[in-house]
Structures are given as structure tokens and as C-alpha cells.
Structure 1
């Protein structure tokens, strides 16, 4: 009976974590969808935006297409984002719990490994939807190749090599995901711990369940999440550019040489455009989108956890 009760509690925990993660992902991605689309246009050197910067690209999209065009591809993003974020946050909680038992309560390395593992798990399950979303977002009004999510998926599958085509760019994604997800989860947990230990009077509230534990205030959640996201993006960004170039390579015959392998694409981007205008192209807009996105994502997840009674607060000895 005790075993069955424990199993039921675990299932409820997983279901609530899954819902909290999915909601957090959808809210955060929708908030930065316009910047996301412009980032893709700049990353992959769309011919209409070859000389544009961030603000100019935003104005160009609105003037030449429409305001709604800023959200092009966001439908596919939402289809992908709920299972992606839900899987990532749930996996993180599960991996963190198991690794915490192995490394002990004073270690922080378990947070990095759990975050990296969660990111790899989520991206493996949802990567084809990211490819489809990138293709839809890269299109310019009046020059459409795909009419929607299903048409894009079937066209890529039939004409570009089956399931392998939907996973084009997957290797650099994995290589970028380990430092990105590992760093973002690690830094958020580390900063959260630091705020509770050293600045509880400014950054924390008592848990509403009266457990004696502390929870971060919303501004503190936003600051911790934003800083964690900005740092993680700085480390992993070249791999994201490589992934985008591979995903979008076959939409234009002139860029088909980017479809071969991760290393050849990485080298080609560097040779053709250098570091600033190649491997880190679109980085300025990425900071503008990644920082608030991660801030909103972590904050929403923590808030929904509290609403669903998953977060009972952390009891910690404050002070130095």
C-alpha cells in the first residue's frame, strides 16, 4: 500500500511538473516571438535582411508584410514548445532529485548535469518541430514555399531525405544544448540559492504554505532567470547559428553547401563571414530575446509550481 501511494505521488508530481513546464515555455516563447523571427532572418542571412540590423529588420517585416508577420512560425513554435519545455523542466526535476542523492546536498554540479540532461532529452523528442518552425519563420510573404506545419513536414520528409532531413542540424544542437541547458539551470539554481542565503530580506518571501521555507519574489526570479539565460546563450550561440544554417540550407540553392555536416558548416560560416558577422550574427537580438525569455520561463515555472503546490519553499540558513 505504501509503495502504491508513493507511486501515485510521483505520478502527480510528474504531471504537475509537466503542466508547469509547458505553460512556462509557451508564455516565455510567445513573449519574444517577434524577436525570435527576426533572429532567424538575420542568423541565416535572408536576402531581404542581408544589411539590416535588429530594429531595421523589425520595421522591415512590419512594413513589407504585417504586424502579424512578426509571429510567423509561432504556431509551430507553440506545438513544439509545450512538450519541449514540459519535458525539459520535468526531466530536470527528476534528474536533479536522483543526482542529488548521489552527489549530496552541498554539491551544485548535479544541477549542471541535470540541466544538460534535461535539455538533451527535450530537444531529442521535439527537434523536427523546431526545423519546421524555422522554415516557416524564414519565409517572406509572397515567397512562400510551405503553406503550414503539415505541408512543411511532409515536403521536407518527402523531398529532402525522410526523418533525417527533419533532424538536420541535430548534432550542433546537442553540442550547444549541453552547455546552454546545463549553464542556464545551474546558474538559476545557484543564484536562487545565493539570494536565499545572503539576501533573503530583499529577494524572498515566506512560502504561502507556512512550511517555514522561503520562495523568491517575482523580481528576484526574473533577475536570476535573465542572467542565467544571457550567460548560457553567450557560451552556446555559435552552435545555434550552425544549426539554423543547416536547417535552412536547402530552402535556397545558393546556401545548399551548408547542409552537409556540422563541422563543414561551422567552418564555412567562419570562413565566409567571420566571428562577429558569422558565428555571432544576430547575437544582439539574441540577448534581447533570450534574457527576457529565460527570465519569464523560470519565473512562470516557479510561480505555477507554487500554484500547483509543488513548491513548499526552501529552508536555508541565512547569512554568511
Structure 2
């Protein structure tokens, strides 16, 4: 493929990709928002949830704070997730086009690198909003520290060290984003390719925009996305825990020692709580949220692309 073909990407297509990615991100995050909040409370060892599991944690929130509390922090999440997902999916499409064929016609390494690059690009541009959202979700009714998104941003910036405070936990996030985003996109693209090549009659429909091309059916999209999410989360989860502990460290005097740095925080979590109850604390709920979240995200994005005539289908040679 020539360089001109690789880099040709119309402004209209970029805008459509941004819209599809943003909408897919908002839909997927809203779907799992209650589980997201419980995960944050468990990861950071909230004093109100130290003895709780997933079901007890959800029940405790509903009983003590009301059903709407399950979505606490979701407003900030929507503010963050639209640009995050829009940038991530669009960056992936651009990086994928540029890397297409670089490692050979049958290699999928380019998908991993494109996914990792997309993840790094999106998280670097939206990370402060993730810190704010985590702080809001960690609050318990009656013990509020922040009044809302703007108040949280101003307070963190003013009292905790400026821009650096808004990027606390950024190092483990970047480190974890490479395997997480890389594996998510790699697994989804690889599974999508495998379905169209080996199981087309079970998993695919003809593509309306491209005679001879195939697109995954909705159930196949969900299955591929769910498997991709499970694989990616299994590898990157300890760094996600580290990121949360660093983001929330300054909210409690007893946890401020977690704000010293990525490797220091990793060591302290392991020393104090071990692997299962520390580095992988909340992993069960993370599977419960990550699998449907990634499944919905990829499926919604693919469907939106088809509706906007961006998806040209996959042509594969059988045999």
C-alpha cells in the first residue's frame, strides 16, 4: 500500500469517527456505571466497604445513599469519556491505516501497536477528567469533599500542587495503557478477522456498502468485544489499582503515603495487602464491568460506523 493511500483520510471521515467513538464510549460507560463506582470504592479500600464484595457493595450504596448514588461521578465520566473514546477510536483508525502492511500482509502486530498508540494518545489528553471523576465517585453521602466537577478541579489544583496533582497516577496509567489498549484492539481485530475467515455463516452478514465484504453480526461483535476486554484487563489490572490509589491518596490522611510514585505505591499495596487482596482487589467486579463495557463499546462503534457508511466490511480469502 502506498504512503498516499495510507495517509489519505478525509476530514469528514475523521469527524464521523470522532462522533462514533464518543457515542460508543458514553453508552458503554453508562451501562456499567454502578459497577464502576463499586470497583473504585473496593480498589481504594473505602472504610465503608472494606468487608464488602460486589453484591453487598451495591446493596450498601442503595441502602445508605439511594439508587441514584450508583451513578455518582457518572456526569464527570461522560464529560471525560466522550473526548477520550472519540480520540481513542479515531487515533486507532489513523494509526492502523499508517501501519497497515508494515509487518507483512498477514501480521496483526500493527493492530496491537495502533491500539497501544491510540490508548496513550487519548489518556494523555483527558487524564485530569479521570482523576476528577474518581474523586467524585469515591465520595460518600454526608462526607462530600467536592460539590461538583469544577469545584473538584479547582480544589485539587489549588490545594494539592497544581497541574501535577491532576495528573497524579499518570505514570501507571500510561504503563498499563499499552497492554490494555493494545490487547483490546488487537484481540478484537484478530477475533473479527477470524470470524469472517473461518465462521462467516455463523457470525457475519454481508456489508451493504461493499459487495463481497462481510461485517460481524451484533452477537458476534459483543462476543469478540467481551473476550477482548477480558484478556486486556487480566494483564493490566494491577496498574489500574495503582492508578486509583494514587488518584485518591490525598482524600484521606491514612492513605497519603500512596501519593509518592508508581513503583512506591505498587510496593506498598503488595506489602500491605498482597496480590489477591491488593493488586487484584476488585478483579471480580472488574470482569463483571469490563467484559460488557468493552463489548458494548466495540459493538456500538462498529454499528455507528456502518450507519454512517464508514465500515466497508472485510474481504478475506478462504483456504
Unaligned segments of structure 2, at least 5 residues:
1-5
CA drift at 1:8: 9.3
Q: What is the TM-score normalised by the length of structure 1? A: 0.96
Given that residues 168 and 247 in structure 2 are in contact (C-alpha distance below 8 angstroms), is that contact kept between their aligned partners in structure 1? Answer: yes
Task: Tell me which moved more, 20-29 or 203-212.
Answer: 203-212
**Partner of 1:206 in structure 2?**
206
Displacement after TM superposition at 1:209 (Å): 2.4
Give the corresponding residue for 1:111: 111
* Matched residue, 1:233: 233
Cα shift readout 1:154-184 (whole Å, capped 9, x = no counterpart)? 0000000000000000000001000000000
Hey, which bits of structure 1, 4+ residues long, moved more than 3 A?
A: 6-9
1:41 is matched with 41
Question: For residues 126-158 of structure 1, what are the alpha-carbon distances to aligned partners after superposition, in whole Å with 9 as ceiling and x for unaligned?
Answer: 000000000000000000000000000000000
Aligned 8 A contact 1:211 1:312 in 2: no
Matched residues in 2 for 1:27 and 1:173: separation? Answer: 22
The Cα shift of 1:212 comes to: 1.5
Q: Matches of 2:104 and 2:21 in 1, distance apart? A: 25
In the TM superposition, residue 105 of structure 1 has moved relative to its aligned partner by 2.7
Match in the other structure for 1:3:
none
Report deviation, 1:101. Answer: 4.2
Q: Distance in 2 between matches of 1:40 and 1:224?
A: 26
User: Alpha-carbon deviation of 1:7?
Assistant: 9.5
Equivalent position SS for 2:82: helix
Which secondary structure state, in structure 1, belongs to the residue aligned with residue 105 of structure 2? coil
User: Cα gap change, 1:274/1:300 in structure 2, threshold over 3 Å: closer, same or farther?
Assistant: same
Looking at structure 2, the residues matched to 189 and 9 of structure 1 have their Cα atoms a distance apart, in angstroms, of 20
1:17-166 map, 5 Å: 17-166=17-166
- Taking structure 2 as the reference length, the TM-score comes to 0.97
Task: Say if 2:312 is the partner of 1:312.
Answer: yes
2:102 counterpart SS class? helix
**Number of aligned positions between the proteins:** 314
Spell out the pairing of 1:241-256 with structure 2 (5 A cutoff).
241-256=241-256
Q: What is the deviation of 1:211?
A: 2.1
For the 8 Å contact 2:7–2:97, the answer to whether it is kept is no
Is the alpha carbon distance of 1:7 and 1:115 closer, same or farther for their aligned partners in structure 2, counting shifts above 3 Å? closer
Provide Cα deviations, 1:173-213, integer angstroms capped at 9, x if missing partner: 00100000000000000000000000000000001225210
Is the Cα contact below 8 Å between 2:214 and 2:315 reproduced in 1? yes
SS at the partner of 1:52?
coil
How many angstroms apart in 2 are the aligned matches of 1:113 and 1:7?
17
Give 3-state SS (helix, strand or coil) of 1:212's partner: coil
Question: In the aligned structure 2, how far is the partner of 1:292 from the partner of 1:304?
Answer: 18
Range that drifts further, 11-20 or 149-158 = 11-20
Q: CA deviation at 1:261?
A: 0.5
> Partner residue of 1:270?
270
Residues 203, 216 of structure 1: 8 Å contact kept: yes
Three-state SS of the structure 2 residue aligned to 1:205 is strand
Structure 1 Cα separation of the partners of residues 259 and 97 of structure 2: 39
Q: Is the 8 A contact 1:35 1:285 kept in 2?
A: yes
The C-alpha deviation readout for 1:226-252, integer Å capped at 9, x for no partner, is: 000011000000000000000000000
Q: What SS does the corresponding residue of 2:27 show, helix, strand or coil? A: helix
Whether the 8 Å CA contact 1:227–1:291 is kept in 2: the answer is: yes
Matches within 5 A, 1:279-318: 279-318=279-318
Q: Root-mean-square deviation (CA), in Å?
A: 1.2
